[in-house]
Amino acid sequence: MKTQSNKRRLLFAAGSIFGLIAVADAAESVDSPELDDVVVTATRINATLSNVPAAVSVVDARNIEAKNASRLGDVLDQVPSLYLRGGALGQSQGTVGTSGMSLRGIDQTRILILLDGQPIQDASSGKVNWRVPFVEDIARVEIVPGAFSSLYGSNAIGGVVNIISKNADRREFTAKIKKGWSDASGEDASLYFRDKMDNGLGFVGGLGYQNRDSYVNDFVVKAPVAGVGVIPVTGAQAITTREGAPTYLVGDMGATPWNATNATAKLSYDLNASNKLYSGVNYQQTKLGYTQFNTYLRNAATGAPVSAGNLIVNGQKVLLTNYDFTLFSFLPLHEATTRYFAGFDGTIGNDYLLKVDLAKIERKYSFSLASPTANWNSGAGTLSDTPNDGIDGTVQLSFPVNNNHFLVAGLGLHKDSVNQQIYGLANWRDPGSKTTVNSGYHANSTTTSIFAQDEFSATDKLKVYLGGRWDSWQATGDNFVTAPASSILYPTRSASAFSPKLSAVYKPTEMAVLRASYGQSFRTPTNQDMFTSTTSRGRTTAGDPNLQPERGTTWEVGGEYNFTENTKVTATYYDTQLSNLIYLMQVSPTNSLRINAGKAKVNGVELAATTKLVNWLALDGNYAYVNSRMLENVADPLSVGKRLTDSPRNIIGLGLTAQLGAWSGTLNARYVSHIFWNAQNTDVVEGVPGSYDAHTMVNGKLGYAFSKMVKGSLAINNLLNRKAYAYFLLPGRNVTAEMDFSF
C-alpha cells in the first residue's frame, strides 16, 4: 500500500508541474538529448562520447540552469551510480562543505575530483570542499567511472569527476537573485560576465554570494545508565540509536547559519587560430555561525528548562551535561580557498597538440571545539587551524604516429603541503582568544609522473586504447606536542606505482557501441593518515608513517544503443577488487591506529536511458545495483562479508525536462537505499538521529521567460516532504524563487 501511495504522489506531482506547462500557447521543442557530446576527461583529448572507453556522464550548463542549483551536487542527481550527501548539496545542513560520496560503491577518498584538470582534494585529509566550484562558471561536469590512474594517478580508483569551467568563447552577462523559504531560508545573488574581443583577448568575471539561515538538523540523544537519578524531568522522547539500543531524544544543537562567497577572474589571449594563453584566479570563502541549542527537557516540579544534571527520565537515570550540547559542534568555522592557474593550449607544427598547465591551491581551514568544562557561550576550548596547499603542473603532448595510432603522453607534478597547529582557547566561541599552541604537524608529499596512451584504430569499427602511468611518490612529516613537550621527525619515505589500462570500443553498427576495459589504480595515504593523530567522539586515532598505497583492479563491459536520434540506452557491468585498504584498528577502548588492513570487492550493473517523449518533453532514467563487500580486514574481523560504508545497494533516478513556449520545467526523483556508517553494518535502524535512511527525494522547478532578457522560476525541493536522515536530518519541503536577468 505504501508503494502505491508513493506512486500516486509522484504522478500527482508530475501532473501538477507539467499540467501548468501545457497551458502555454505556442510549442517549442525541447533540445534533443546530446547523444555524441565532445568530452575530454576519459582520454585527456577531445573525443565524442561514442568513442571513449568509459560510460561517461555529462552535466552541462543547460542542466545546471534547469535545476535549483546552489552547489555542484544539486545537479548530479541523475548521474548513474553516484551517491552524494551532506556538504555537496546546497540545501543541506550548514556544516563544512565536505560530504559523503561514492561512485559505483567506491567512497570519496578513492574518487579523484578535478577542477579544470587540477585535483581539489584537501592536502591534509583528502576530502573535497564542494563549495569551491562557482556554479555560474561551470560549463560542464564529466563523470567518468572506472579505474583511471593510468591517466590521472592517485585517487582515481573508482573514477574521475572533472568540473570544467567556462571559457571566454562568447558574450554572456547575467545577474541572478534567489530567495528561499522554510529549510532553504536565505538569499543568493550573483553577477557573471564573459566576452571575447576581436583581437583575441578574452575575459571572465563573476561574483556570487549565498546566505542561509539553516535549520535544526543535529540532535542530542542520551542513553540511560545504571543507578538512581535525582531530578525528575519530562519531555524526553524514547527512541533507539541507529544500532537499536534504547536511548532518549533530549534536545537539538540549534541551527548553523552560514554564508559563502565565490569569485572568479580569468584572462585568455588567442595568439592565433590554434594557440591560446590563459590565466586566472578563483576564490571561495565560507563562514559558519550558530544559534542557541534547544533542550526538550523540563523540570517535572517547576517546569523550568533542564540542560544538565543527574536526571530521572521514565524512572531511569540519565546524566546530562552542557558538553552534550557542544560535543560535536565545530563552530565557529572558517574555510577559504584561493586557486591560481595559468597555461598554454595549442599546437607545435601541424600535428602536435601541446597543453601546459600550472596551478596552485591555497586553503585556509579552522574550527573551534569546546572543552568538557565549557558551556554553550563560553569556556575553554581548542582551535584547529590547518592551512594547506597543493601545486600541480602538467605538460601533455598529443600527436598521430601514423594513420592508425594517436599518442597522448605527458609529465605531471603534484605537491601537497600542510601546516597544522592546535591552539588553546580561553573562550572556545572566540577564535581570537588563542593562548598557547598545544600540538600540530607539518607534512609534505610530492608525486612525479609520466604517462602515455595509444589510441589504435584497428579497423573502422574498432578502437583500442593501451596506456599506463608511472607515479613516484615521496612524503615526509613531523608532529609535536607542547605539554609534555615531545616531537617526532619522520624519515622521508617513498613508493611507486605503475597503473596500466587496456580498453576497446567497438561499433558493430551506426546505432550500437560496445566497450570493454581492464585497469589497475592506486591511492596514496593522506598526510593526515600518516603524520598526525585525530580525536573524535572520545577516541584518538593515530597515523602511521609507514602506510602503503591502496590498490584497485577493475574490469568492465558494456555498451549503448541508439534507437533513434533522440533515444539512447546504456548498460555496464563492472567488477573492482580493492586491496591494502586503510582502516582503523582499535588498540584500546579510546585509541585506534590506521593500518593497511582490508581487501574488498565491488561489482554491479548500471542502466541508463534517455528519450524525447514528445517534441516538448524529454525523459531520462537510470538504475544502479551495487554489490559491495569486505573480503578481509585484520583490523575489524567482524566487518568481513559486510557491505562497504557509504555504498547504497540500489540507486534509481528519473527525470522529466520540458520546454513549451515561454514555459520550462523539470521534475526529478531519486531513490537511494540504506547505507551503513560502520564497517560491521550494525546500524540497521532508520528514522532516528544519526541514521542513514533509504529515501526518495522529488525536486521540481517551473520557469517562465518574460522576455529574452528576463526569466523567473519557482523551485520546490523535497516536494513530497519526506523525513529522512543521512546522519543529519535532510531538509524538509522548501521553496525557492529566482529571477534571472541576461544582458
Domain boundaries, the chain: 2-218+253-290+329-742
Decide which of 30 and 235 is more confident. Answer: 235
Q: Is 65 helix (H, G, I), strand (E, B) or coil?
A: helix
According to CATH, the topology of domain 2-218+253-290+329-742 is: Maltoporin; Chain A (2.40.170)
| Least confident among 148-152, 257-261, 621-625 | 257-261
**pTM metric for this prediction:** 0.92
Q: C-alpha cell of 662?
A: 515561454
- How confident is the model over 583-609, as pLDDT tens digits? 888 777 778 888 999 899 999 999 999
Q: How confident is the model at residue 101 (pLDDT cuts 50, 70, 90)?
A: confident
- How confident is the model over 399-432, as pLDDT tens digits? 999 999 999 999 999 999 999 999 999 998 888 9
Q: What is the pLDDT of residue 92?
A: 65
Which residue is listed with cell 543529519? Answer: 728
CB 74 within 8 A of CB 138: no
- How confident is the model over 9-67, as pLDDT tens digits? 443 333 433 333 333 333 333 444 444 688 999 999 999 999 999 999 999 999 999 98
For 12-37, give the DSSP string. Answer: HHHHHHHHHHTT-SS--PPPPP-SS-
Q: What is the pLDDT of residue 70?
A: 86
Burial (0-12, 13-18, 19+ Cβ within 10 Å), 589: exposed
What percentage of the chain exceeds 90 in pLDDT? 76
Q: How confident is the model at residue 742 (pLDDT cuts 50, 70, 90)?
A: very high
End-to-end CA distance of the chain: 51
- How confident is the model over 352-365, as pLDDT tens digits? 999 999 999 999 99
What percentage of the chain exceeds 70 in pLDDT? 93
For 595-611, give the DSSP string. Answer: EEEEEEEEEEEEEEEEE
CB 87 within 8 A of CB 94: no
Q: How confident is the model at residue 520 (pLDDT cuts 50, 70, 90)?
A: very high
Residue 122 is which amino acid?
Answer: D
State phi, psi for 90 to the nearest 5 degrees.
-70, -25
- How confident is the model over 319-338, as pLDDT tens digits? 999 888 876 666 678 899 99
5, pLDDT greater than 60: no
Rounded CA separation 440/704 (Å): 54
Quickly count: other Cβ atoms within 10 Å of residue 159's Cβ.
28
Average pLDDT over residues 249-268: 94
Q: What is the pLDDT of residue 667?
A: 97
Q: What is the pLDDT of residue 29?
A: 39
509, pLDDT greater than 70: yes
State phi, psi for 40 to the nearest 5 degrees.
-125, -25
